[in-house]
Amino acid sequence: MHQLTIADIIRGLRARQFSSTEITRHFLDRIAQLDQRYNSFITVTEEQALRQAQAADKRLAAGDAPAMCGVPIAHKDIFCTSGVRTSCGSKMLDNFVPPYDAAVVENFNRAGSVTLGKTNMDEFAMGSSNETSHYGAVKNPWDTTRVPGGSSGGSAASVAALLAPGATATDTGGSIRQPAALTNTTGVKPTYGRISRWGMVAFASSLDQAGPLARSAEDAALMLSVMAGSDHRDATNLGHASQDFTKGLDKEISGVRIGVPREYFGDGLDNDAAARIEAALREFEKLGAELVDISLPHVHLAVPAYYVIAPAEASANLSRFDGVRYGHRCEEPKDLRDLYMRSRGEGFGEEVQRRILVGTYVLSAGYYDAYYNKAQQVRRLIKQDFVQALERVDVIMGPTSPSPAFPLGAKSADPVAMYLEDTYTIAINLAGLPAMSMPCGLVNGLPVGLQIIGNYLEEARMLNIAHIYQRATDWHLAAAPGLVSDRTGA
């Protein structure tokens, strides 16, 4: 049953081929047997999952259940879950048990979905490899000596290892799309504000956005239909009503104009990965799409702008973790200053401390204009580049990651090299646009992801284009070695 997609599970539940309790038990058993290889879960909620599955079976028997009712999923450990630890992959929140559910979790509970557990992640979503977690690095199911990408590496690995059919995730600078690319999964970062951030622990408030990770565009559309919607509790929420993103998936894409940025195919992109991207673009031409050469002249400034803006916002957001209200508190503080310093020094890992220091520096009185204000001006230029390009084309396509997954520890000592792993994804967060990554081939047995960037609030069109590609190809059905596989390599 673990080979089934979300769409398959929905059909099977309604055809009474199996119950929610049976398939939930199946995934829980797989997690117990296999996750020591991958370390993709921080917390497994077995008792809760079985209770939810039993309740879902009753709703399904009554015949009025929503589409996702009875489908087991996992939640990234950045979403608050009532009565269940929410750690953000950090020692700081190792003992934090929220009294409420995040809006995303509420939506899935309302839909009758089953929560298998909370997935591992880079600490406070800060990382590109899922190696900064207090609970240890996540391993890529395609090669357990390599990274799965971050910060949503636990969610991506759980789906790639067939431990969960889908998982929630968050994307601040590429943290859904990059792990999707490295694990042969499909991940969607929606338009900023499309999904409520209420109850999602903040990293950089103007950049963070929740989204789904699954095996196919169809599955991602099913999850997004549950996740998106209006929420008055989130001041940045766009207020758009929820919609069914599966409608229009099968619409033909003949005549679709695909922008190909020349800046995405220069130095820094692995040659073999570039060949897979180009092959995918040729496949789109066969499907009737038109390739259009475009330019994003300021995109090379995205990484430096992001690593001023994001740490600045992190510095402000993480100031609440001071050892006083909740979270980690040092033993026997001598005074208030000692309480603050030791609680934060002990509770935060090295990468989080680095970003807090950078963020505090760029927000200081003497440097605000030179760094933070200038980065925001660059952000505006980057957004204008995308707006102008999307006036000429329907979507933009290119690589998601510069190369396939790299070995664990290979870039841990070089923060700049690690930051450059997000070079193709960061600009989209700065602009607030929707984007996704989907599988498009293998290089030496490792997955490569194709990135699709859409216009504001055009997730449905973006998913439609991805679905038509996946209907014509089967890269998204390939599974990691030792699991069920339809493709052996490239």
The tens digit of pLDDT for each residue in 409-423 reads 999 999 999 999 999
What is the residue whose two structure tokens read 């929905």? 10
Looking at the domain assignment, is residue 436 inside a domain? no
Can you give the pLDDT at residue 64?
Answer: 85
Looking at the domain assignment, is residue 447 inside a domain? no
User: Which is nearest to 229 in space by CA: 238, 220, 221?
Assistant: 238
pTM, rounded to two decimals? 0.96
Our answer to whether residue 76 is catalytic in this structure is: yes
In whole angstroms, give the CA distance from residue 401 to residue 424. Answer: 6
Our answer to whether residue 225 is catalytic in this structure is: no
Can you give the pLDDT at residue 267?
Answer: 87
Looking at the domain assignment, is residue 385 inside a domain? no
Beta strand 186-189 pairing with 209-214? antiparallel
Looking at the domain assignment, is residue 139 inside a domain? yes
Structural domain for 152, as ranges: 6-250
Angle at CA of residue 422, ends 419 and 424, nearest 5°: 140
Can you give the pLDDT at residue 485?
Answer: 43
CATH code of the domain covering residue 240: 3.90.1300.10
Looking at the domain assignment, is residue 475 inside a domain? no
Catalytic one of 133, 175, 196, 343: 175
User: 162: alpha, beta or left, given left = phi > 0 and alpha = psi -120 to 50?
Assistant: left
Catalytic one of 19, 20, 40, 76: 76
Q: What does each of the 490 residues of the chain score in pLDDT, given as a tens digit? A: 999 999 999 999 999 999 999 999 999 999 999 999 999 999 999 999 999 999 999 999 999 899 999 999 999 999 999 999 999 999 999 999 999 999 999 999 999 999 999 999 999 999 999 999 999 999 999 999 999 999 999 999 999 999 999 999 999 999 999 999 999 999 999 999 999 999 999 999 999 999 999 999 999 999 999 999 999 999 999 999 989 999 999 999 999 999 999 999 988 999 999 999 999 999 999 999 999 999 999 999 999 999 999 999 999 999 999 999 899 999 999 999 999 999 999 999 999 999 999 999 999 998 999 999 999 999 999 999 999 999 999 999 999 999 999 999 999 999 999 999 999 999 999 999 999 999 999 999 999 999 999 999 999 999 999 999 999 999 999 999 888 644 433 3
Inter-helix orientation angle 374-389/302-317, to 10° = 120
Extract the tokens encoding 452. Answer: 């699709």
Extract the tokens encoding 183. Answer: 């694990």
Looking at the domain assignment, is residue 397 inside a domain? no
Spatial contact of 395 and 452, defined as CB atoms under 8 Å apart: yes
What is the residue whose two structure tokens read 């916002």? 313
Inter-helix orientation angle 20-38/153-160, to 10° = 120
Can you give the pLDDT at residue 484?
Answer: 61
Catalytic one of 19, 113, 151, 343: 151
User: Which is nearest to 395 in space by CA: 248, 250, 255?
Assistant: 255
Our answer to whether residue 251 is catalytic in this structure is: no
User: Which is nearest to 476 in space by CA: 488, 486, 465, 489?
Assistant: 486
Can you give the pLDDT at residue 487?
Answer: 42
Please tell me what DSSP assigns to residue 436.
E
In whole angstroms, give the CA distance from residue 341 to residue 349. Answer: 13
Looking at the domain assignment, is residue 83 inside a domain? yes
In whole angstroms, give the CA distance from residue 132 to residue 45. Answer: 23
Please give the backbone phi and psi of residue 28, each rounded to the nearest 5 degrees, phi first: -60, -40
In whole angstroms, give the CA distance from residue 180 to residue 183. Answer: 5
Please tell me what DSSP assigns to residue 186.
E
Segments in 327-370 forming alpha helices (H)? 336-347, 350-363
Can you give the pLDDT at residue 488?
Answer: 36
Total domains in the fold of the chain: 1
3-class DSSP state of 479: coil
User: Which is nearest to 113 in space by CA: 247, 2, 6?
Assistant: 6
Segments in 70-175 forming alpha helices (H)? 103-110, 153-160
Looking at the domain assignment, is residue 399 inside a domain? no
